[in-house]
Structure 1
């Protein structure tokens, strides 16, 4: 089945498909992502890699780009999962290649932290969780997770949080950061006194990474749309059982092809993740 995930702007005229874990580290590694991406897009597209940061950048047209996903049954968990991501680049095929498709741009590992698709310049503003998450809006979420959770949520009137692939958590959304840390400290002190987990309450500042994960929890395929530097960005995650299948990453050859495709005369970026051995596509 094919589902539409988003319609994205690309004002820089370059769109990026990136591994989310080190997305905010490009500038620290030497050159901002947008500089590298625009250079690659100007050459028709290419793979970018610096230490553990990886991405593919391609040229984009002036209109909004339609991002779709092809899905299949999950190999290790119930429900469907993303099998391929396509981005219509709003360009005619001759604008990206003088020959027939597909054009192989390289490959990417599936990042356990999720994959991110968006405008190259906007993603220079991405705030991740390393070295320490910071809030982009002054807010944070507080979740309860560990021994004593049921007693804590009754005592403190915790609310249900967005479902994470069938697992129901409780806590609070959109608290001022200071309030979230104060409440977490109070709950954890109470938990220790009751013999529960010492770290029962966890604070998640509103980094872009956290907001992307949170948005994906509301989607049956783990895909959510957030705003970064005024532009819509798609964040795609996989359920834990599927992620464990890909945990070895590039070091063990678990990388998947990224291509430019000719789709009825229009250029599209495609990243395909194959099914596990013995599973049904």
Structure 2
């Protein structure tokens, strides 16, 4: 992770591309908050935590526990996200001890960690027809999908464990749409699900989700405006915990903490059950 602007954000991905439409760009708000000593910022449904950071490589780790719906869902879940900000703690906090910056909900569209100015260029799902590279993916699912896979010789996609999607990656947009239309016409004439072929345009949001397909915590790194951005998704089962969001009080504390003298941003999600499971630490992004 890198922060050439001097400010890192932990942001909800769903409305990440809407900050400028709501008022000022994310970078302006984040750098103001970081300059004032860090804060959580919010405008309508757009939310983020903003902190100052060193411009060098930053390490992101996650403490994990067993998912809420085991044994149905065997995957681990993130309990604590930690971002080493690359600065001594006294450089960002006037007094010792953890500093509560506010709280954030678990966004069903995922979370994003990265440089504030780079994220002004984020292309999200709400941009509709916009792509970052004029490419798209085609995925086939629903009633009759297996027959379609065989008929159209659709390869299996390297999606997350338990997702048996087939289709094609990195097609020019028009070719992707033509292929999906052909498959859906075929499906409709045979009584299958008539919208089984779905086109995913290459927004940053989609590419971030795709980057985490093979990671056990569904996290992956993409590049936005020349900066590495860490994208965090959730398993469909784990998302059932967070259906209410902020309106249901499902928000979790964001703190600035001193870890061996270094400033660290932490976001902690409490366990689903009363008795917490032992935590395990995973490195999500580390300087090479």
TM range, smaller chain? over 0.9
Alignment-derived partner of residue 264 in structure 1: 260
Alignment-derived partner of residue 284 in structure 2: none
Give the TM-score, by structure 1 length.
0.96
Instruction: Indicate if the aligned counterparts of 1:33 and 1:124 stay in contact, CA closer than 8 A.
Output: yes
4+ long deviations beyond 4 Å: none
Instruction: Indicate if the aligned counterparts of 2:59 and 2:83 stay in contact, CA closer than 8 A.
Output: yes
Partner SS, residue 165 of structure 1? coil
Alignment-derived partner of residue 254 in structure 1: 250
Alignment-derived partner of residue 124 in structure 1: 120
Q: How do 1:59-208 residues align onto structure 2 when only pairs under 5 Å count?
A: 59-76=52-69, 77-208=73-204
Alignment-derived partner of residue 18 in structure 1: 11
Q: 1:116-152 CA deviation, whole Å, 9 max, x = no partner?
A: 0000000000011115152101110000011110010
> Residue 228 of structure 1: which of 224, 228, 235 is its match?
224
Moved more, 127-136 or 152-161: 127-136
Alignment-derived partner of residue 38 in structure 1: 31
Partner SS, residue 240 of structure 1? coil
User: How far apart, CA to CA, are the structure 2 residues paired with 1:140 and 1:65?
Assistant: 31
Q: 1:154-174 CA deviation, whole Å, 9 max, x = no partner?
A: 011111112223221100000
Give the TM-score, by structure 2 length.
0.93
User: How far apart, CA to CA, are the structure 2 residues paired with 1:257 and 1:78?
Assistant: 26
CA apart distance, 1:40: 0.4
Structure 1: gaps (5+ residues) = 1-7
User: How far apart, CA to CA, are the structure 1 residues paired with 2:138 and 2:53?
Assistant: 38
Instruction: Indicate if the aligned counterparts of 2:159 and 2:210 stay in contact, CA closer than 8 A.
Output: no
Instruction: Indicate if the aligned counterparts of 2:110 and 2:233 stay in contact, CA closer than 8 A.
Output: yes
Instruction: Indicate if the aligned counterparts of 1:75 and 1:279 stay in contact, CA closer than 8 A.
Output: no
Q: 1:159-206 CA deviation, whole Å, 9 max, x = no partner?
A: 111222322110000001110000001110111011111101000001
Q: CA RMSD in A?
A: 0.9
